[in-house]
Structures are given as structure tokens and as C-alpha cells.
Structure 1
Amino acid sequence: MTLRTGILGLALLAGAAFAAPVDDYAVQWPIALSGDDAGAYGVTLDASVYREARSPALRDVDVINADGVAVPAQLFRPDDGMTEADRRVPVRWFVLPTSSTAASGDWSMAVERSRDGRVLRVEARDGAARGDDAVAWLLDTSDVDATVEALHLEWAPDAGSVDRGYRVEASDDLRVWRVVQPVAQLVDLSRDGERLVQRRVPVGTQARYLRLLPAGGTGRVQLAAVQAELAPVVKRRPLQWQQLSGETVEAQGVRFHAFTLDGRYPVEAADVQLDGNSTGQWTLYSREDGDSPWTLRAGPWVAYAIGSGNDANRSAPQPLSGPTRDREWKLVGNAPTAQPPQLRLGWRPEALVFVAQGAPPYRLVAGSARAGRVDAPLAQSLDEIRRARGPGWRPGVATPGTMQPLAGEQALQPAPAQRDWRSWLLWALLVAGALLVAGFAMSLLRKPRS
């Protein structure tokens, strides 16, 4: 019985050895959700998160639920999937009576415009007898200061069957027209209680005026409203800057200025700052640590500053060859300076989008030498949700609170080497089995022979 109890104890000890600790991260931020029905949320990372992260790929930043279990999450850069939702604006439209030959230009048009170019009144006369009941339209897009990706036409649902093509033309002066869409089909068909509707007319241009001319087909569209779908605009957050003071170093006959960044910021721009009037040519390098080679990030470029205060003329920040999270930076100038320069590194906050899986509350955690986030394929999932809930759907907003300690410095130490408890358990079972066999043999030898 004692031997069996020992074997069971070894098995339980081996099972306990495989249980992973929950607190594998140094710090945490409680997360407040904007609502309970979004399903997916995005938390914008601030400077405090980048200062606590240790992983060059930011793998040690994650979201966990109330049970301490990591939820599906993926890191998004500012320009990844951050475009505005489908933007539509109403457009003023006017009817242009036409005929089957009017589409070829055999008609005249008188337009009354205001001083800013807005259309006030349209009179159109075609030069041929009417062949069908098709209608042409003139659209005033002079107030739209963006590319019109498409037009969305609205008409009454009981207007009858429509299967008609339209040619789209654009103009900036109502005299010279250019074709931007040879044929766009409008469809409104019904059968057995089902309805097929196509209202979208691709355009893909920016112009003060558009006109839609019949290009064959059947049915009459009784237009009620027109909306212009504008080209999406990428929301780019303004650059945030980390200003570094370094030291002057001479190595292998090269004089340069060395700087150390205090976090894993996604740096994408750089600037050199000197007091007073200055100009110089600079080359910027970076690396992960002292054991890594230097990588060229920018330059050579000329940075200058003339004047002071708000009236100063300064060179524009220099974009890097690509975003990097390197910690060590080297600035090389073509000539010595009277004072050490300061290096300004620009970055844009990223967003960690996660699925609200498991029980709330959720926590943002960072800083670990033991755990690492595995990015979930959320981009495709977000597109599916957007198609299901409408183009205006966006992930909910998750707002981090005040940073709190979690496992502290212990999480920043590598995990101890895992013992191969399975091998130890196997050997223990083999030894225990051998002891059982030996004990059984000894008991047989001690029995008197009959």
C-alpha cells in the first residue's frame, strides 16, 4: 500500500509540474470597455506600455480575462485596417430629358450657376424625337472635396422592372466632358416575392459635375435621391516624439553620438535638434543591442534650424527606411558640432485588438521573459463582422486604466529550465515495478518447500 501511495504521489507531482503560472507578466492595466455588445475591442497602446515591453516584436503585450487566460488578440499598426468607414454624402441632381439619340450628344443644355459654381437651374432640349422613356441626370458635385468612388441611386420600390445601362461623364466647366464609366448597369427586378436591386454606379474620379446618360436597356428609373460614396481616408494619428540626450563616442576612428531608447516604440521618423542656428548632414543607424550589427535607418540628410521660437525655420523630420523597435541608436555627422545634438524619434501608437472571450474584467499585461502572445487571425474575422453588421461597424474602444504591478521583476527573469518529469516518473515506475518483482521473488524463496 505504501509503495502504491508513493507512485500515486509521484504522478500527482508530475501533473502539478506542468501547470503554468498565471502571473507571467510584470505589470497590468485594468481595461474599461465602451459597451458589452461589440464582441471585439481595440486598446491603443501608450508610452507606458512600450516602456514595459521587452520583446522586440512586442510579443509580451497581451490581454487576459478574469480567469487569467489570454484571449485572441492581434497587434495593428496605425495604417492597418484603420480607414474610415464607408462615407456617403447627398448630391444635388437635375433631370435631363433625352432620347435614344441624345446619348450621342445630339442635345443642348442651358445651365444657370451661382458665383461659386453651384448649379441653380437646368434646361435641356434634345434634337431628336423621343424613342423611349429613359431619363438622364446632371449631378452637382462641386461641394464634394474628395474622390467620388461611386454613386448610390435611390428610387421607389414600386417603379417597375428596370434593367438599364448608363454612361457616366465628368466635367469641371459643363462644356468639356470626359467618360469615366462607359456602362454602369442599374437593375430592379422582382419574381415570386424576391427582389434583385443594383443601385451602385462606379465613378472613381473627382469633378465638379457628373452626368448619367442612358446607354441601352429597358425600364424607367424614377430617381428620388443620390448619394456619393467618397474614397476612404486613412486615419493617421500624429507623431509622438521621444527626445533623447546621448553621449559622444569615438570608436575605430569614427566619431558619433550614441543614444538609448527607453521602450519598444515603433519608430518611423527622426529629427536632429541643436540649440540656436544650425545646419549639418547626418546619418542615422540603430541596433537591438551591443551584440547586433548597426543598420542604416536614414540619411545622409541635411537638418537645419534658422531662427527661434514659433518663427523658426526647421527642416522636416526624416522618415526611416521602415519602422523599428531597436533600443540603441547611432547618429553620425559630417562635421563636429559645438554641442552634442539631441535626437528626436517619432512614433505612432498601435492598437491591440482582442476578442472579448471569457469572463470580464479584462486586463492589458506587458513585460515578460516567459510568455509571448500568438497573434490570432483577427483581420479576416473583423472583415466578416463588418460585412454582417454593416460598413460602419468598428471594434469597440477599450480604455486602459492606471498601471499596476503584477509579477514585477520575477516575470522579467527567464523561466527555470523545465525538468523532464515524465522521464523521472517513468524511471520511478520502472524501479517500483522492479522492487515489486524482487519482493515477490523473495517471498517465494522464503517459503518452505513442500
Structure 2
Amino acid sequence: MKRIGKNRFFLFAMTMSLAASAVVPADYATQWPLTLGRDDGGAYRVVLDASVYRQTQDPQLRDLVVLDHDSAAVPAALFAPQDALAKPAARIAVPWFALPAVRNDGGAQGWELVSQVDADGRLRRVEARITDEAATALARTALLVDISRVREAIVALELQWQPLDALDLGYRVEASDDLEHWQPLATRGRMVDLQRDGRRLLHRRIELYGLLPQYQKARYLRLTPDRSDQPVAITGVLAELAVARTAVAPEWIELAGRRADAGSDVAFEFELDGRFPVQLADVTLTGNHAVEWRLESRDDGDVPWRLRTGPWMAYRVDAAGVGGSSPAQALGGNVRDRYWRLHANTAVAEAPKLRLGYRPETVVFLAQGSAPYALAAGSARAHRTDAPVPQLVAELRRLHGEEWQPSPAYLGTAKPLAGEAALKPAYDWKSWLLWAVLVLGALVVAGFAFSLLRGKSTG
């Protein structure tokens, strides 16, 4: 009962948050269609890219929402890349379909594959149509695995099956991009599940060594067992992703500046064209050099500059065997300022390049409403309503285990909504109307008072 109560609380809080915000797509400049990694994920995570940061206007990225099919906002929250909820899942479930195994006598296959594929390559339906009665007795231990919506490199597949007395079955692996032409992969898998004297030997993995489905014409995998007389009921297929093993590397933006010297002060100013969460800074000059720098930033031309890092020495030495360059400087947090300024402690002949590093953030959203979903950003008149997404995901992880992560979703090609019009503040006609009513009321009262005074003086 307590668990049900908690779930109802979170759903109620989500619904209230959603009801409190009325989203109009015309309030946003651009949208990105979202491709879901799986249909039944419930909660999803999408990593932002440079095009989103260049469109957002708000320093806290509040002008960023996720919309459902009916253009209604769904509960969403922004997470830093180091947050546990923002990290990609180590393993994800992928769609699979059981197929008849190959006949042991080497005879004809006896069946043909009939499939229905969406425009994005996702398998909707797979049917093994029997063409030879002898094929009806074949165990359905071969598998067709749909990895068309996986964008990350796949390290391995992990098969799951119902309990059985003993299993020792080899699989060969083939890849296809169209379900017609199949290429064998240089890998094999062996599914082992044996028990003796209270001990269990279990092996579920098929190594794929970083297979990239989108770039290696491998959107579909066919797993064929070595023989058809081994009964096994497959219950699930998981894909282990390579990104889960490595830390997120920073991405870099290189800015060209303009000289802004003031007397003896050597300075260069730069403008950043987006709300990037800048965490690192570096300076580059051509040739060998060693210059001490200070870096400042601000978000408006009328506010004072703030020191972000420095002084530090940036250098580069090109020499056989002993060359090197200075490391990037950490800023101590995310800085989304538009304007940046470098100060040098000595004369610099050429304008330096300022390199700003950031790690993309993640938006986690609840699949409320109906698909397809889209990410919308860029507005001077609308903001995202706060939603208790972190609490919801934490509760789901408590229920399903600490390794549970939201399913992946991926940004599509940007499409315009209101464009530049959404970046202009809305005309506040309500305030003007209120002031007009107040002024009119004051004039009416003044006129009434004047008429009373005039009547008294006449009397």
C-alpha cells in the first residue's frame, strides 16, 4: 500500500505540474523530433547537442521543453553530465523475434521471412511463413534482433532464457541493413547453462566488439543456432553499450576574437553564440609561445566583468622529443555567459583563439501523452514548468535497481516553429490594459468630484 501511495503521489505531482503550464508551440523558435530507443521506455533521456544550445536564450535553459503529439508539454528536467541519471545505460533491451532453426539434415529452409518495417527502419512485425510442412516441427531458437534504433556502439548481446535442465548451444551471427542481404560477422556466441553438484556454469554473451549499427550496415542481426534439437525459450535480448564504459569527453568551441586594448592593457573580446555549459578554457596561438592570461566573462554588456580563471600561463613548445603544450583550465562550474575577455601580461602580435570546453547535458522526460515527441527550444516569452522528474526517477531506480536508467532518445533534424518571432518578448497588453483602466477610473472619479464641487459653488 505504501508503494502504491508513493506512485500515486508522483503521478499526481506530475499531472499538477503539467496542468500548471500551457505550452504554445508558437512560443518556441525551433523543434527537434525525437526518436525513441524503445516504445515502452516510460522515461527517456536525450543528450543535447550544439544546435540546441545555440537556440536557447535563457541562462538556466528554462526555454527548453519536450512536447507530445498534441504539442502539450510533458514533465521534463535538465541533468548535468556527471549526474548519475544523465549517464547512459550500460545495457538496453532491444526488440527481437523468434525464427525457426536450420534443419539438421541440411535440407531446404522450408520457410520465408515476412516483415513490416517503419520508415525509420524499426521492425513492426515479423512472421516466418512456412513453405514446407517439414519446417513446422523446427524449434524457434533462431533470433532476428532489431538494433536499428541504437546509435551507440554495441559491445555485446546478452541473451536471457527460461530455466532449463542443460544448455550448450553455439550461435553464428549475421548482419543486414535491409533484411534481404546478410553478411556473416567474424564472431560467434555460445550459450551455456549447466549445473552440477550445486554449482552453475552460465554464459549469455555474444561479443560484438563495438558494432555500430548505423554505420556498418548492421541494423538487424540474425542469430542462428548450430543445431535445431536443443530446446531453449528465449525471453529477452539486451545490448551492452560501449559508451557506458568511458567517461564523457568534453566538446570544444573555438572562438576568434577582436582586440580590445585599453592603454597598456592587452585584451581580446569574444562572443559565444549559445548557452553552452562551459567548464574548460584554453588559449591557442601559432608557433612557440608562453603568455600569462586572465579570463573574464559576463552575460550583458552593461554589467561588470567577472574573473573566471587565471592568471595562468598558456604555452606551446615545438621541439623534437621535448615539445608540449599547457593543459586547459577548469572554471570551477558551468558558465553560460555570452561575452568573454582575455587579458595578456605582455604584448601579443596576433589575436589568440579562445577554446571553450563543455560536456553536453541531458534532458530526462516522462512519456506522457502520445508519441511522437519533440524537443522545443528558444523563447523569450515561455519557460518550462518545474516537474519532480528527479524524484520520480529515483523512485523507479529504487523499485527496479540502481542500474536502472531512462531509455535513450535521440535528436532528429531541427525544424522551425515560430523562428525569430519567438525570440522577441511578447507585447504585455494586459499591463497596458490595466493601466488604461486605472487611468480611466481616476479620470471618472476626478470628473465626479469636480461636478460635485461645481454644484456646491452654484448653490
When residues 407 and 271 of structure 1 are mapped into structure 2, their CA distance, relative to the original with a 3 A threshold, is: same
Please report how far the alpha carbon of residue 235 of structure 1 lies from its aligned counterpart in structure 2 after TM superposition: 5.8
In structure 1, C-alpha distance between the alignment counterparts of 2:40 and 2:24, rounded to whole Å: 31
AA matched with 1:286: S
**Residue 268, structure 1, aligned to residue 279, structure 2:** yes
Larger-Rg structure = 1
Instruction: Identify the match of residue 255 of structure 1 among 261, 266, 277.
Output: 266
Aligned residue type for 2:36: L
Counterpart among 325, 345, 350 of residue 356 in structure 2: 345
Contact 1:74 1:376 in 2 (8 A): yes
Q: Aligned-pair distance for 1:250?
A: 2.2
Residue 372 of structure 1 is matched in structure 2 by 383
1:27 correspondence with 2:25: no
Q: Structure 1 residue 328 and structure 2 residue 331: aligned?
A: no
Deviation of 1:83 after TM superposition, in Å, equals 5.5
Distance 1:371 1:225, change over 3 A: same
Tell me which residue corresponds to 2:48: 45
Give CA-to-partner distance per residue, 1:10-30, whole Å, 9 cap, x none. Answer: xxxxxxxx9874411001111
Q: Does 1:388 align with 2:376?
A: no
Distance 1:422 1:248 in 2: 48
Residue 270 (structure 1) shift:
0.4
C-alpha displacement of 1:397: 0.8
Do residues 65 (structure 1) and 76 (structure 2) align? no
Paired with 2:332 and 2:59, the residues of 1 have a C-alpha distance of 17
Counterpart among 273, 277, 293 of residue 282 in structure 1? 293
Instruction: Decide whether the 8 Å contact of 2:34 with 2:375 is kept in 1.
Output: yes
SS in structure 1 of the partner of residue 430 of structure 2 = coil
Q: Distance in 1 between matches of 2:22 and 2:362?
A: 31
Alignment CA distance shift 1:59-1:311 (3 Å) = farther
Aligned to 1:120: none
Partner Cα separation in structure 1 for residue 319 and residue 377 of structure 2: 40
Distance 1:391 1:86, change over 3 A: farther
Cα drift, residue 289 of structure 1: 1.4
Question: Is the 8 Å Cα contact of residues 256 and 353 (structure 2) preserved in structure 1?
Answer: yes
SS in 1 for 2:327: coil
Q: Deviations over 1:273-312 (max 9, x none)?
A: 0001111111100000101211111111111111189985
Show the counterpart of 1:191: none
- Deviation per residue, 1:167-205 (Å, 9 max, x gap): xxxxxxxxxxxxxxxxxxxxxxxxxxxxxxxxxxxxxxx
Residue 79 of structure 1: SS of its match in structure 2? coil
CA apart distance, 1:423 = 7.1
Superposition deviation, residue 422 in structure 1: 9.7
Structure 1 residues 42 and 274: alpha-carbon distance in aligned structure 2, compared to 1, 3 A threshold:
same
**SS of aligned partner of 2:421:** helix
In the alignment, what sits opposite 1:404? 415
Equivalent of residue 373 in structure 2, options 335, 355, 362: 362
What stretches of structure 2 of length at least 5 have no aligned partner? 1-20, 92-196, 202-243, 442-459
Alpha-carbon distance in 2 for matches of 1:48, 1:84:
21
Distance in 1 between residues matched to 2:255 and 2:326, nearest whole Å: 18
1:293 equivalent in structure 2: 304
Please state whether the residue corresponding to 1:238 is helix, strand or coil: coil
Q: Where do 1:430-441 residues align within 5 Å?
A: none
Q: How large is the Cα RMSD of the aligned pairs?
A: 3.2
Amino acid at match of 1:329: W
Deviation at 1:420, TM superposition (A): 6.5
In the aligned structure 2, how far is the partner of 1:332 from the partner of 1:293? 15
Q: Which residue of 2 aligns with 1:184?
A: none
**Where in structure 2 are the equivalents of 1:212-223 lying within 5 Å?**
none
- Give the drift of 1:254: 2.7
Q: Contact 1:368 / 1:411 at 8 angstroms: preserved in 2?
A: yes
Structure 1 CA distance, aligned partners of 2:432 and 2:370? Answer: 33
Measure the CA separation in 1 of the matches of 2:88 and 2:417: 37
Shift of residue 379 of structure 1?
A: 1.5
Does residue 318 (structure 1) correspond to residue 321 (structure 2)? The answer is: no
More divergent stretch after superposition (272-281 vs 390-399): 390-399
Separation in 1, partners of 2:55, 2:405: 28
Partner AA of 1:281 in structure 2: E
- Give the CA deviation at 1:249: 0.7
TM-score relative to the length of structure 2: 0.54
Could you tell me whether the CA contact under 8 Å between 2:77 and 2:365 is conserved in 1?
Answer: yes
In the alignment, which residue of structure 2 is the partner of 1:170?
A: none
Q: Which amino acid aligns with 1:260?
A: E
Q: 1:37 and 1:237 mapped to 2: Cα distance? A: 27
Shift in alpha-carbon separation, 1:421–1:271, aligned structure 2, 3 A:
closer
Q: 1:345 to 1:223 in 2, by over 3 A?
A: farther
Shift of 1:374: 2.5
| 2:27 match: secondary structure | coil
Matches of 2:326 and 2:397 in 1, distance apart?
Answer: 42
Range with greater deviation from structure 2 (53-62 or 266-275) = 53-62
Distance in 2, matches of 1:308 and 1:323, equals: 35
Show CA shifts across 1:206-261 (max 9, x none). Answer: xxxxxxxxxxxxxxxx99689xxxxxx99631011000110111236533110001
Cα drift, residue 37 of structure 1: 1.5
Cα 1:235–1:76 change in 2 (3 A) is farther
Q: Note closer, same or farther for the CA distance 1:20–1:306 as it changes in structure 2 (3 Å cut).
A: closer
Match of 2:82 among 79, 82, 86: 79
Shift of 1:79: 0.4
Task: Provide, for residues 108-153 of structure 1, a one-character-per-residue CA deviation record: whole Å limited to 9, x for no partner.
Answer: xxxxxxxxxxxxxxxxxxxxxxxxxxxxxxxxxxxxxxxxxxxxxx
Query: Is the CA contact (8 Å cut-off) linking 2:25 and 2:418 kept in structure 1?
Result: no
The separation in 2 between residues aligned to 1:309 and 1:410, in whole angstroms, is: 56
Question: How far, CA to CA, are the matches of 2:252 and 2:319 in structure 1?
Answer: 19
Identity value in percent:
47
Change (3 A) 1:247 1:351: same
After TM superposition, list the pairs within 5 Å mapping 1:90-101 onto structure 2.
none
| TM-score, normalization by structure 1 | 0.55
In the TM superposition, what are the counterparts of 1:205-216 in structure 2 within 5 Å? none
